[in-house]
A and B are shown apart, each in its own frame.
Chain A
Amino acid sequence: MHCQQIREQLGPWIDGELPQTQAAAIEAHLRACDACRREADILRRIVRTLAAVDRESDLPETVRAAVWQRIETTLDARQPAPPALPDRPPQPRIWRLLRPTLAAAAILVAVGLGTYSFLATNGPAIAAEIDLRPFLEQSGRDISAGLNALMQRYGGREVSPEALARQVRLRVHLPEKLPLGLRLDSAYLLHMGHHHRAAALLLRGRAGQLLLIQCPGGTKKELGNVQCIACRLGGKPGHLAEVGPLQIGHIESPNVCVCIVSALPDTDALSRVLEKVRIEF
């Protein structure tokens, strides 16, 4: 066989998919041909690394149980002749979720720090829940003071924007130019439970500061036909509250929970910034 024919067979040979006679012919050729042997070595190395490298793929017990519960719910609800599974709704821009709440001033709830005393006080943070109490206890108008407390709570560490961009499962997108001259000041990775990573982005500008905490995956609950991620900040999409000088917002969508802590001057300023932020899934 010519080298080209041999090389076309190297993959199946390495995979053990060739009949013995063909495999023997390949091996005889490789003993005599340095170039093909080198080619085989490269291929073998790629395949070996490919087989060895892996994302952690163990199924967490909580996820196993939660998925079965959803399956049972779906099976219970099915008709004898079930329709095809529905498509997920289109992914919204962050602003679309928040707009109705912001537009309706009556829904804007003013609460004090004491209101947060209903939050659970014991136990480790669980997946996809963001407990902002440590943050609120430390921050006044200065978000970064509370941020340190939050990072301690969730084992957060500061990362470069480049490192953040390399997080395949976290899709954080900020346009280069944001209203009010806001720019990314610092980025952090946090741990939410065993398998969930969140990103925290602190934006600073002449008008103030804004903290976005984006948490993918995790514990979910049903909210109408949208699956939402539990968050201790609020149970409703687009929830927005005023806590002292801060505005704290919470947005849930099918794949992500975004908590917003704003020290911007007003709701309009926050709205203008959030309109530019795009969450992709």
Chain B
Amino acid sequence: MDERALIAACQRGEREAQRQLYEQYVPQVYALALRLTGSEHDAADICHDAFVRAFAAIRSFDGRSKLGTWLYRITVNEVRQRWRRQQTQQRHLEKLAELRATQVGEATEAADAEAVQAALDALSDDHRAILILRYKQGLSYHEIAEVLELPPGTIASRLNRARQALRARLERAESGLTTQQAEES
């Protein structure tokens, strides 16, 4: 079944088509949810909520955006709702990530990766989301604008701010390490 027929069948509420759509897109939806939340459990829950919402709303899907982009938008909205519900947890995660960021090891590639992941975890939700959509999910600026429901012209500047925030976190972690090394020597 091609995608247009699949969407039409889902719009008629055909369960087999819904299952086929789920099977086709759940790996990407799960990966995005996992990257945004850092929790396998939350990612599975978000997959459930996102697909239920998608099947409820698919009659309004008009094909102007790609189906995958539309599903990403729903997923990001589900994640945002969860973030709002779990603000305490998020603050805690950020604290943990900051702790990790201050304990980054030598400037090897592995340490770079660790530092970047830690810094990414410590960013604000908005900054983290836009960086993940661009550099993990590989979305174009135009697609990011659709997913986040933002004017396309603002994506470059938002990404700039997010990259700057990430860089500032990394530099802060690095300077903390340098101070610590100097004290130890």
Contacts and interface: CB of A to CB of B under 8 A. Distances in A.
Point out which of A43, A64, A67, A75 has the most chain B C-beta atoms below 10 A from its C-beta.
A67
Interface stretch (A28-36, A53-61, A240-248): A53-61
Interface stretch (B1-9, B65-73, B110-118, B177-185): B110-118
B129 interface: no
Given A43-B163, A55-B34, A87-B85, A67 B26 contact: yes
Contacts, number: 136
A280 B88 contact: yes
Nearest to A12: B156
A123 interface: no
A64 B163 CA distance: 33
Interface string B21-40: 01100110011001100111
Contact count band on A: 35 or more
B61 interface: no
B140 A17 contact: yes
Interface residues of B, number: 58
B31 A57 contact: yes
Nearest to A8: B160
Contacts of A280: 88-89, 92
A52 B53 CA distance: 31
Question: Which 9 pairs of residues, A with B, have the shortest CB-CB distance?
Answer: A217-B41, A53-B113, A57-B31, A59-B30, A51-B135, A49-B116, A50-B135, A217-B40, A12-B156
14 contacts: A15-B159, A43-B163, A46-B166, A50-B135, A57-B30, A66-B44, A67-B48, A78-B52, A85-B53, A166-B99, A217-B39, A217-B40, A280-B88, A281-B89
